């Protein structure tokens, strides 16, 4: 007696043709061989034609052949009873273009020269006002900031970089740029910044002066530290 995965492919296709989406998903968990077979687009084509926005037209044409059909069916089922809600958690009278970063249930958001830390409620998804912590020190708008485990590093239009200690009301100023700091990144005690003054600078937390300066032919818009620090 043959096992299921030992059957000829045409016989197996005929059997799977009669299964619904839930049954196919459970069957794919049996073993790796069945998983690979069930993941084929041909197995999901009949179900995909009955779903909305899977890329299968009425005549069977697949307009997204580079995307796995199984994943498209999954997304279509997830959104079958989906409900989109649009809310505005924060708004200001003055038009600002803030920088923000989510860290767990805390949203860090720049507003002009300040950076506020707002607690995000898990149940309602709303932000608690006022902010639980405010990082001050810049004399101009905050252009960019980045979070590490122990610090919040921010660059501003005043050309300064401030290294705030998270949980403590202290910061260290790094001076070197003479125009706004457009971008920065920080990792394991190393800071890289880019500025409108056409330089990229490398800093360490142990010194207030740049360790290295790289001169560019135009303003620096983006910098990033390699995850391997190489």
pLDDT digits (tens, 9 = 90+) for 38-97: 888 888 888 888 877 788 887 778 888 888 888 888 888 877 776 666 777 677 666 666
Query: Which tokens in the block code for residue 128?
Result: 């608690």
Tokens at residue 146, please? 């980045």
Residue 111 structure tokens: 């507003």
**Is the pTM here over 0.85, yes or no?**
no
Specify the pLDDT at position 144: 93
Grade residue 2 by pLDDT with cuts at 50, 70 and 90.
low
Strand order in the sheet with 212-215: 181-187, 190-195, 199-204, 212-215
Mean of per-residue pLDDT scores for the chain: 85
Residues 109-159: tens digit of each pLDDT: 998 889 999 988 877 767 888 888 889 989 989 999 999 888 999 999 999
CATH 1.20.1280 segments of the chain: 4-78
DSSP per-residue letters across 9-30: HHHHHHHHTT--HHHHHHHTTS
Cis geometry, peptide bond prior to residue 197 (ω within 30 degrees of 0): no
Amino acid 84: pLDDT: 66
Could you tell me the fold of the domain covering 4-78? Monooxygenase (1.20.1280)
CA distance 138 to 85: 36
User: How would you class 109 by CB atoms within 10 Å of its CB: exposed for 0-12, middle for 13-18, buried for 19 or more?
Assistant: buried
CATH 2.130.10.10 segments of the chain: 100-215
Q: Domain 100-215 is classified in which CATH homologous superfamily?
A: YVTN repeat-like/Quinoprotein amine dehydrogenase (2.130.10.10)
């Amino acid at each position: 007696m043959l096992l299921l995965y030992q059957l000829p492919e045409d016989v197996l296709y005929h059997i799977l043709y009669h299964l619904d989406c839930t049954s196919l998903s459970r069957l794919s968990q049996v073993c790796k061989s069945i998983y690979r077979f069930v993941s084929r687009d041909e197995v999901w084509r009949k179900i995909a034609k009955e779903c909305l926005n899977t890329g299968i037209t009425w005549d069977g044409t697949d307009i997204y052949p580079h995307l796995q059909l199984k994943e498209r069916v999954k997304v279509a089922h997830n959104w079958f009873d989906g409900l989109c809600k649009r809310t505005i958690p924060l708004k200001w009278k003055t038009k600002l273009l803030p920088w923000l970063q989510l860290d767990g249930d805390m949203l860090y958001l720049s507003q002009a020269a300040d950076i506020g830390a707002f607690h995000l409620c898990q149940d309602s998804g709303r932000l608690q006002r006022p902010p639980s912590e405010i990082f001050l020190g810049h004399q101009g708008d905050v252009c960019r900031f980045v979070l590490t485990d122990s610090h919040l590093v921010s660059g501003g239009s005043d050309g300064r970089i401030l290294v705030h200690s998270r949980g403590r009301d202290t910061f260290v100023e790094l001076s070197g740029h003479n125009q706004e700091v457009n971008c920065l990144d920080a990792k394991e005690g190393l800071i890289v910044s880019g500025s409108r003054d056409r330089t990229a600078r490398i800093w360490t937390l142990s010194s207030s002066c740049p360790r290295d300066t790289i001169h560019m032919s135009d303003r620096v818009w983006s910098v990033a530290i390699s995850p391997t620090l190489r």
